[in-house]
Amino acid sequence: MRTHLAGTHTVVSKDHWPGARRREARQQRVVDELLAAGRSVVVDNTNPSPADRAPLIALARRHRAAVRAVHVDVPLEVCLERNAAREGRSRVPLVGVLATGKRLVPPSADEGFDRVDVVRPADP
């Protein structure tokens, strides 16, 4: 994502602040400041449920920004394989991957998105 959008958007992710407290609040503040400055922003997080996405949608609407969701539709087995190949802090604990998978609700226009795109991995 960063390679595709870095030239046109500011990428914001809670992963940018791995040891920070209140990462959610920090992300909201950074996105708010960027949108207030007229910048295009992409939020690179899992945000598995409508409740997780709602504050970001509300921020964008307050700034009259277009809101687009990109749902990366990857089977759980593939997520587990990719995660197992990670090393160090980039590997997510298994319980985290499984819990997020259980909470996953694909985004829809009913949540307030102007557009929802679905991206699937290429077949092997």
User: How far is the C-alpha of 45 from the C-alpha of 14, rounded, in Å?
Assistant: 7
Inter-residue contact 43 to 12 (CB < 8 Å): yes
Give pLDDT tens digits for 5-39: 667 888 888 877 777 788 889 999 999 999 999 99
CA torsion angle 61 51 25 21 (round to 10): -160
Q: What is the pLDDT of residue 18?
A: 75
Report in angstroms the alpha-carbon separations of 14 from 22, 47, 69, 79: 10, 11, 17, 19
Give pLDDT tens digits for 99-110: 999 999 999 999
Q: What is the pLDDT of residue 69?
A: 96
Which residues neighbour 4 within 8 Å (Cβ) at sequence distance 6 or greater? none
Which range has the worst mean pLDDT, 15-24, 41-50, 67-76, 106-115? 15-24
Total H helices, total E strands in the chain = 5, 4
Tell me the one-letter amino acid at 104.
Answer: L
Residue 2 reports pLDDT greater than 60: no
DSSP, collapsed to helix, strand or coil, labels residue 117 as strand
Enter the pTM of the model. Answer: 0.85
